A = this chain, B = another copy of it.
Amino acid sequence: MADKLTGEARTKAIAGLSGWEEVDGRDAIRKTFRFPDFIHAFGWMTAMALEAEKLDHHPEWANVYRTVEVTLTTHDVGGVSDLDIKLASKMDALAG
């Protein structure tokens, strides 16, 4: 089960990521990734799909050619959880 992040722990966890921002009106975080082209964008999505399935925690994401906009939240806890931070870290790491 995921742990919902609140207060200081939540703020710190998000600040520890690279370039993720709050989503207006939702307890969620968002980041837009840009790649050289579609092959790189979708290649990255594929790697992240495997990680997401392994974590049993999936992103909301939209792809337009070389851009991928990702929103992370944990429906089970109604907000940002440690699982979102974990998945976000993996996304940052592989996007390089």
Which A positions have Cβ atoms within 8 angstroms of B? Answer: 38-39, 42, 45-46, 49, 52-53, 58-65
Taking the full assembly, how many copies of this chain does it contain? 2
Q: Which residues of B are found within 8 Å of A61, using beta-carbon distances?
A: 62-63
- Apart from A38-B49, A58-B65, A62-B63, list 12 A-B contacts with CB within 8 A: A38-B52, A38-B53, A38-B58, A39-B53, A42-B49, A45-B45, A46-B46, A58-B64, A59-B63, A60-B62, A61-B62, A62-B62
Q: Is the CB of B60 within 8 A of A64?
A: yes
CA A38 to CA B52, docked complex, whole Å = 9
Q: Which residues of B are found within 8 Å of A39, using beta-carbon distances?
A: 53
Residue of B nearest to A75 (CB): B65
Min Cβ gap A57→B in Å is 10
Min Cβ gap A52→B in Å is 7
Min Cβ gap A68→B in Å is 10
